[in-house]
Amino acid sequence: MFTEADALERDAADPGHRDLFHVPPAEGGRYAEAAYLAGNSLGLQPRATRGDLLDDLDAWARLGVEGHLDAARPWLPYHEFLTGTAARLVGALPAETVVMNSLTVNLHLLMVSFYRPVGTRTKIVIEDTAFPSDSYAVRSQARFHDLDPDATVVRLDPADVLSYLAREGHEVALVLLGGVNYLTGELMDIPAITRAGHEAGALVGWDLAHAAGNVPLELHEWGPDFAAWCSYKYLNAGPGALGGVFVHERHLGDPAVPRFEGWWSTEPATRFEMAPVSRPPATADAWQISNPPIYAMGPVRTSLEIFDRVGMAELRARSRRLTGYLESLLDELPVTLVTPRDPDRRGSQLSLRIGPGSAHELAKRLRHEFGVITDAREPDIVRAAPVPLYCTYHDCWRLADALAHVIEEVR
């Protein structure tokens, strides 16, 4: 039933938007293009990125300093060109959204505002499989407040978060979880956990690195205090691309919320008054510090416009079809799925436990012998993401076919 011809037929009936992207050549196997299933780690380059970036570079060559105001996309308000599309992507108000810095930097800036330990309410809840950068960030925040990170940071199995909050929530200052877990691909119940955190009197933030551009989000309605994400995974804005930030409306313009500030934290109209005291706007822009890196913002702008045109509803629907198809193929193989089976509890990523044997060794063979690109987390997890924008049913079929050939040899 799951033949190559069947995969090609599905592609003809349900094409994505692969033509908008550069797909790397295969390094091995019988096909010209790689089966690229690592978009959860680094998304592919949109074809439009290079031209858009060159336009922005030309403005500098032609205009010098005058490009701040006179470029076709002027540099002074450049970040504003990204706000509308970023806000729609995560279900936020434009005033709640800004694109700036990198993800972990933004988590720190947001914790300056929203991790305020007082008395016995000092704890930070994260998941036991938290991405290491997030774990280092919260531990260093605890130390910054002269607290013992081992006693302050509580690492929980995601299934235990709600009961922990009901029992010990009075000691929790901040809940900071991944919206989609980077390792297992599990999509958390963001509204329910947000509500439970608030009922316990804590503030709630979400790391949406693996959720933004992967699953539909309604941040304004769900009501977390803040969120941050990167733009180089599902968002295809290139290695190290700038991240996005959400601060809920209820905190905007509140003088009681502390922030680290610089000249981009003030009202644009007052920026060049060179005044000693800032007048921050009542928007997430107030969390900006420095003038933004235009050539890092450009690719984020290009990519967000693709998401805006296609829409998350269409992407989510195709993601379910592709991911479900890959799941059926993998069920024929001796691998264990660690990602939830329920399509409502996952995005585009399936994580496989390959049993004894090295995940890196397997990923290497898939790449060099079959031109199939996945990514490995030691000791035995291989992650594969059939990204709905540019992946195909044939890509999924190639992964299953390659796994069938090598899995027994790797263990």
Ligand X SMILES: *Cc1c(COP(=O)(O)O)cnc(C)c1O
CB of 4 to ligand X, least distance (A): 33
CB of 373 to ligand X, least distance (A): 17
Question: Residue 83 interacts with ligand X (CB under 6 A)?
Answer: no
Q: Select the span of 70-78, 127-135, 213-221, 295-303 touching ligand X (CB under 6 A).
A: 127-135
Distance of alpha carbon 41 from alpha carbon 182, whole angstroms: 9
Where in 308-327 is the site for ligand X (CB under 6 A)? none
Asked whether 168 and 199 are in contact (CB, 8 A), the reply is no
CB of 181 to ligand X, least distance (A): 8
CB of 376 to ligand X, least distance (A): 15
Question: Residue 102 interacts with ligand X (CB under 6 A)?
Answer: yes
CB of 231 to ligand X, least distance (A): 9
Q: Select the span of 98-106, 260-268, 308-316, 395-403 touching ligand X (CB under 6 A).
A: 98-106
CB of 246 to ligand X, least distance (A): 15
CA nearest neighbour of 408 among 355, 363, 367, 360: 355
- Considering only the C-alpha atoms of the chain, give the largest distance between any 2 of them, rounded to a whole number of Å: 71
User: Which strand ranges, in their side-by-side order, compose the sheet holding 350-353?
Assistant: 336-337, 350-353, 381-384, 375-377
The two beta strands, 203-207 and 172-178, are parallel
Where in 178-197 is the site for ligand X (CB under 6 A)? 178, 182
Angle at 126 between CA 105 and CA 194, to 5 degrees: 95
Asked whether 350 and 330 are in contact (CB, 8 A), the reply is yes
- The 225-264 contact track toward ligand X, x by CB under 6 A, reads -----x----------------------------------
Interacting residue with ligand X among 207, 225, 380, 395 (CB under 6 A): 207
Phi, psi (5° rounding) for residue 185? 75, 10
Nearer to ligand X, 7 or 126 (CB): 126
Question: Residue 134 interacts with ligand X (CB under 6 A)?
Answer: yes
Distance of alpha carbon 83 from alpha carbon 80, whole angstroms: 5
Asked whether 209 and 182 are in contact (CB, 8 A), the reply is yes
Distance of alpha carbon 408 from alpha carbon 333, whole angstroms: 10
Nearer to ligand X, 16 or 39 (CB): 39
Question: Residue 210 interacts with ligand X (CB under 6 A)?
Answer: yes
Distance of alpha carbon 354 from alpha carbon 19, whole angstroms: 33
Nearer to ligand X, 41 or 278 (CB): 41
How many residues bind ligand X, per CB under 6 A?
12
Binding residues (CB under 6 A) for ligand X: these are 102-104, 131, 133-134, 178, 182, 207, 209-210, 230
